[in-house]
Amino acid sequence: MLPQLKKYILDHEDWLMEKILNYAKQQGYTEYTSTLREAWRLSISGLSKSLIATLNAKGLDLELGPHEKYISDPASQFGIIEAQEHRKRGVNIDMFLGLMKYYRQSYSDLIRASNFEDQIKFQYEQIIKRFFDRVEIGFCLQWTPVKDESIVKDLQLSNRVMTNEKNRYLTIFESLSMPVFIVTFDGIVENMNHAASKMLNYDTVPGTQYYGEKDTHPLLFIQIFPWLDSFFKRFKAGSDKIKTFETMINNESQFFFISFSRSLDISGKFSDTVIVIIEDITERKTMEKELEKLATTDPLTGAKNRRSFLNLFRKEMKRSLRYNYSLALFMIDIDHFKKINDNFGHDTGDKVLRQLVAKSFSVLRESDLFGRWGGEEFILLLPEIDIHQAYSAAERLRDVLAKSELMSNDGVNIRFTVSIGFTILRNKNISIDGAIKKADKALYMAKKQGRNRAVFLESKSEQ
């Protein structure tokens, strides 16, 4: 019988925790007890361990004898230790014993809710009753001999410990580098740390919120952060314990990391509280954009680099197949670029490359992809375009570049032309590599036919 009872108790500690918590809420004890679930779990765990230790020591016979030495009884020892701890916290014996009656009731409820036979249930319930009788004897052994002076000293010591703990956590809260706001469901800012005060440009020192004069006009969260109002309302109305996200304001000039967290209080005293963390991540986002730009663009011209272009090309190919539209792929090469470098220097050659990209961007659509393929060769992808539109785009681009001019370092006006080879992708059996080879072949033909021209080659199925 004993192993069965022990296992049943240990397997149902979560059930017991929820039961005692419900009793405590119903009878108003949670106003004076811990707000955290872990404290209630540990209280049940401690009782269950003491019950099992008592059963191991005494077996099924827990009846109370007139000459029994309760000081050596595991159940009474547990009661003595608990009485010492709670008396130091200022809990009086009547409140403590009252709550313990509901712990007793929770364990009895567990036995009654079991599938054991009625006779077994009766025996187990008697064991539970005698166990709690022994625990309460331990309370009395600890509580009754204590004089008032000793109780006062215990309370003074406990108060000093609690004050030090409060000051420790206050210091940690004020030392946090991220702005933290404690907000009620009504939107009133109950507290904020020093970083939050600095964020709002308040001229305060750490601890002002605790030790300074309280403002008679409550600070409203929506007045400070109107752009977070809708997020805050959705979080309150939802069931998420925590919600984190990034958002931007002021036309994307500022970025913030936001965290909403519900209070972990299960007693109901502080359950209508939201902890809000607001961190300005504008500098980080700016750096991320710069790093992304460095990773995806050609540093000299600002066009996409080869790797980035190919990644975007693959995505655009998938979209074109999904939505059934064609693509035009251009390979562009500057005519006689070596002569420009040889006659005017590489600095001027770099100017020509930058001029080509700038002028190309001026006539391309936002959806077009333009990249530097290598050296003086560039690659261009135009989505949703047919052969006639592609011809027109190629000629317009060639003409704009031919008419552009720039000045060398020696003050000489320079003009340049380009050759363009292009193909149309409108068949699902054409690969990216196959399309590039086709456009490159068309470019070779444009060079061979005299340069400063655009040549088209049909892309056919590779099957």
Q: What are the catalytic residues? A: 376
Q: How many angstroms separate the CA atoms of 276 and 322, rounded?
A: 43
Q: Residue 197: name the closest of 185, 207, 186 by CA.
A: 207
Amino acid at 156: Q
Quick one: DSSP state of residue 220?
B
DSSP string, 177-202: SS-EEEEETTSBEEEE-HHHHHHTT-
| 370, β-bridge pairs | 380
| 254, β-bridge pairs | 249
DSSP string, 74-133: HHHHHHHHHHHHHHHTT--HHHHHHHHHHHHHHHHHHHHTS-S-HHHHHHHHHHHHHHHH
- The token duo for 259 is 């965290």
β-bridge pairing 189-192 and 180-184: antiparallel
- The token duo for 217 is 């006009």
Residue 220 main-chain phi, psi, to 5 deg:
-100, 130
**E-state strands within 363-409:** 369-374, 377-383, 405-407
Q: How many angstroms separate the CA atoms of 373 and 360, rounded?
A: 15
Q: How many angstroms separate the CA atoms of 236 and 456, rounded?
A: 61
